[in-house]
Structure 1
């Protein structure tokens, strides 16, 4: 998992969350449900899980987005508290998203603020109950428990930065039916050949983790995988798509339109 100043920059989305907090196993979860009249026929067997960035569930943004997704899709959207109430970055430490000139270095003051934040928060991301290994393990148990307790057969996941990396960590466990991966905080090209569910990738023009070169290489790897399967007369690999939003940097924004569009094709 990699972090940069863009990972801890942003704005608070307008809106008041309309869902509720529930428990799934030992995990606190925000549940956004569609209005009864808008509930999809597949809602009893399909659902969406939203994996947050390093600000976790205390920041209202993922709750507001979950409400929007639930309304648009007609499905329940579950947002787990990935960090058990102790996210690496606190709400009050969010840095302004005011440096958007592509190709230019981060201002010294922003980089200094990032280093200061990391000095206090980095240890918790590598040791203790919120180490990356333990967070990813909790999320696997969460998805498995959600499916078992609620009788859900198809789980679509959307993840942002840290949450995108969390989705990729679930590849070996075959618990997802679809995913939207937004500027992931970690990516290994070797993972491509093991993905067994449809994926939609949200990438940006400038990204220190998954920049255009790596995104293009990953897309080419997906295409090569499909070509090999066709040549060998093997089953067609899962669908995929890559969308790059020009003029944007890592952590630039959430794209709810792409998310709902993808899940309508792969979950409903």
Structure 2
């Protein structure tokens, strides 16, 4: 995972319209209460958004959540999967803060092994409450979407049903070939041309393997754009603005087929 590409970008100027609440979910007893940004009013379909390293309070992701709620007609949940740790969004545009932000140490505190149990618990809770649940993940959140895509509603069933209706991931980081191998539900990958986190070898692997898994698959390539553009791109730059808006529309189109 390249440190610099994950902690650079632009803050968007808009005001999120959802609310902060909590969601109670657990794979074991006792259950955990997780802070969550919620937007939308559907009672039958939910979208679980898994954040990048800037976490659940990152305004850009909340703005996207509001747009997904409106355009997909679903309820969107953006939970805090960093257990209260928040990265100051001004880090994106402040070279001093970027220099001080140690991503390897941050990932160590928020490793897959530490954070995935809560992600699975929330996904299962949303499945129980809404019937249909899809996922979308940016950067750090993408690996979690793939791991959720490998799960079934009942592991002991002779005819297992995927837990997740569909997933979309944008400029993923920390991805492994094994996570791509295990995908069980429809998958969309939003891939910029320049991305040290989602390498050419991983892109090639995804496009060779996922089409053999028997799931709907869509790979969308954004020439000239870089890692982070879909969630942190510069809206003042025409090429980036067009790219990030297309990435959102593409995600809406793909996920909407399955929700």
How far residue 198 of structure 1 moved from its aligned partner, in angstroms, is 0.2
Q: 1:65 aligns to what SS in structure 2?
A: helix
CA distance in 1, matches of 2:45, 2:13: 28
Correspondence 1:103-182 to 2 at 5 A: 114-118=98-102, 122-127=104-109, 130-148=110-128, 151-174=129-152, 175-182=163-170
| Matching residue within 226, 247, 256 for 1:249 | 226
> Is residue 16–residue 64 contact of structure 1 (8 Å, CA) maintained in 2?
yes
Q: 2:230 aligns to what SS in structure 1?
A: coil
List per-residue Cα deviations over 1:81-100 (Å, max 9, x = no partner).
1112213x32232236xxxx
CA distance in 1, matches of 2:125, 2:12: 30
Unaligned residue ranges in structure 2 (runs of 5+): 25-32, 153-162, 232-246
* Alignment of 1:261 onto 2:249: no
Q: 2:185 aligns to what SS in structure 1?
A: coil
CA distance in 1, matches of 2:104, 2:175: 19
Q: Aligned in 2, Cα 1:252/1:142: closer, same or farther, shift over 3 Å?
A: same
Larger radius of gyration: 1
Partner of 2:155: none
| Matching residue within 25, 30, 54 for 2:37 | 30
TM-score, normalised via structure 1 length = 0.77
How far residue 124 of structure 1 moved from its aligned partner, in angstroms, is 4.0
Q: Aligned in 2, Cα 1:124/1:186: closer, same or farther, shift over 3 Å?
A: closer
Aligned residues between the structures: 226
Correspondence 1:1-268 to 2 at 5 A: 2-25=1-24, 26-33=33-40, 43-87=42-86, 89-95=87-93, 114-118=98-102, 122-127=104-109, 130-148=110-128, 151-174=129-152, 175-223=163-211, 225=212, 237-254=214-231, 255-267=247-259
How far residue 156 of structure 1 moved from its aligned partner, in angstroms, is 0.7
Decide which moves more: 192-201 or 172-181. Answer: 172-181
How far residue 77 of structure 1 moved from its aligned partner, in angstroms, is 0.7
Q: 1:125 aligns to what SS in structure 2?
A: helix
Partner of 1:104: none
CA distance in 1, matches of 2:198, 2:104: 21
Partner of 2:239: none
CA RMSD of aligned residues (A): 2.0
CA distance in 2, matches of 1:19, 1:258: 22
